[in-house]
A and B are shown apart, each in its own frame.
Chain A
Amino acid sequence: QVQLVESGGGVVQPGRSLRLSCAASGFTFSSYAMHWVRQAPGKGLEWVAVMSYDGKKQYYADSVKGRFSISRDNSKNTLSLQMNSLRADDTAVYYCAKGREWERGGWFDSWGQGTLVTVSS
């Protein structure tokens, strides 16, 4: 079965950087686009970024564009999110999610358990 396991969350000061990882198993990772979606404490869901199955295309939410960078290593079945210049409003649980119909946008048919990022001095 599909398994997505995020790691790398923690407490970080404003302006600093953090790198999240997502280890995938149970499906052909290199065939699917992968997304990051976040959820601030007590709030709704916010899409963050997507990377195409082959790593050639990526899209970002305006709120993170220029600060966050999504990448993937298909040889290691791993998705990453490099987060720079972190702000307090980046505080959230970050989920990696497997995408379907990604070229138009699409939906998320499997999710990890999430990793909490807290940006605080």
Chain B
Amino acid sequence: DIQMTQSPSSVSASVGDRVTITCRASQGISRWLAWYQQKPGKAPKLLIYAASSLQSGVPSRFSGSGSGTDFTLTISSLQPEDFATYYCQQANSYPLTFGGGTKVEIK
């Protein structure tokens, strides 16, 4: 199975800050990676797929990059509605696996 490691596990940031979350795969997955946002009590929401493609309706302040084993999710200017937990997911092969999550908290 492909293991996904996210860092940091939590980050404190202020509105307007640039936030970067990293995700590392235990083996190469090309660009088969997705990012999700989850707010408390809600279902996850797809933000980014194929490492850098923005899902329809997602604000352009979200961006993804990387390939192979190392990936990054960047929020260019944090907004109040962005405080949530973010998960990466490898989409390369079954079983599909997620990172442990990164909680973005208000500083």
Stretch at the interface among A16-24, A72-80, A81-89, A109-117: A109-117
**Shortest distance between the CB of A4 and any CB in chain B (Å):** 9
List of A residues within 8 angstroms of B45 by Cβ: 111
Instruction: Check: A46 CB closer than 8 A to any chain B CB.
Output: yes
Q: Is the CB of A111 within 8 A of B98?
A: no
List of B residues within 8 angstroms of A95 by Cβ: 43-44
A-B contact count (CB 8 A): 65
Interface residues on B, range: 20 to 34
**Shortest distance between the CB of A63 and any CB in chain B (Å):** 9
**Shortest distance between the CB of A64 and any CB in chain B (Å):** 10
Residue in B55, B90, B99 whose beta carbon sits within 8 Å of that of A105 in the complex: B90
List of A residues within 8 angstroms of B38 by Cβ: 45
**Shortest distance between the CB of A22 and any CB in chain B (Å):** 12
Q: Is the CB of B43 within 8 A of A104?
A: no
**Shortest distance between the CB of B23 and any CB in chain A (Å):** 13
B24-43 vs A, CB cutoff 8 Å, 1 = contact: the mask equals: 00000000101010100011
Instruction: Check: B97 CB closer than 8 A to any chain A CB.
Output: yes
List of A residues within 8 angstroms of B55 by Cβ: 109
Interface core residue of B34, B43, B100, B101 (most chain A CB under 10 Å): B43
Chain B contact residues, CB within 8 Å of chain A: 1, 32, 34, 36, 38, 42-46, 49, 55, 87, 89-101
13 pairs of residues in contact across A and B, judged by CB atoms under 8 Å = A35-B96, A44-B87, A45-B87, A45-B101, A47-B95, A62-B95, A104-B91, A104-B92, A108-B36, A108-B44, A109-B46, A111-B43, A112-B43
